Structure 1
Amino acid sequence: NSTREPPASGRVALVKVLDKWPLRSGGLQREQVISVGSCAPLERNQRYIFFLEPTEQPLVFKTAFAPLNTNGKNLKKEVGKILCTDCGELPPLSAGERGEGRGGGRW
């Protein structure tokens, strides 16, 4: 069957892949058009960062998190939050420890 059925839940967006992280890219290629299901409303001709999970169908993905508009003010911070969902918070440093490494140097 050559037709692709969109995922049953939510809206579907056709998205052109402009770039990808090499780690766990799921076979995505640049300039490829894919279907993204369960997608939040998107503006046409706008760039977004998607965090995708594969589905059983080829070239059909679902979003793991809401897409991030690349024009956002805190883009690095938002991407870091998403990529580090299992990271714990660093314990607060006491006044004597702040900015001091074990060797006495600053870090």
Structure 2
Amino acid sequence: MTEHQVGPEEFLTPGRDAARARLLHTSLRALAQGGAGPVLQEMAEEVLSGRMGLRECLNAGAYAEALAREATAAHAEWERMPAAEREHHAAEARRLLGTMREDEGPGLR
């Protein structure tokens, strides 16, 4: 029996459309696979199970530290990229969000 997981609709908030909610859900599912380390894996599992909210995670010391560490590393990697590569990645992200918005239809999945 698999554990209950919240769906992308749980991440809809004012200012976050359905496409961004789905993208956040997908990102949490990827973190839950463990690629960013055991602390963020546990955090993602807690959020996806509904035991913790995202805001709670930002106030939990170990989770907040791991998130800050990963965000700092990602920002440093972004800054090291040539401008053309950064623009390529930004354009790809805009394209992905646009595609997700076009696919929204009546539901979130």
The answer to whether the superposition gives a TM-score over 0.5 is: no
Whichever structure has more strand as a proportion of its residues is 1
Per the normalisation by structure 2, the TM-score is 0.26
Bigger relative contact order, structure 1 or 2 (CA pairs below 8 A, ≥6 apart)? 2
Q: Which is helix-richer, 1 or 2?
A: 2
Bigger CA radius of gyration: 1
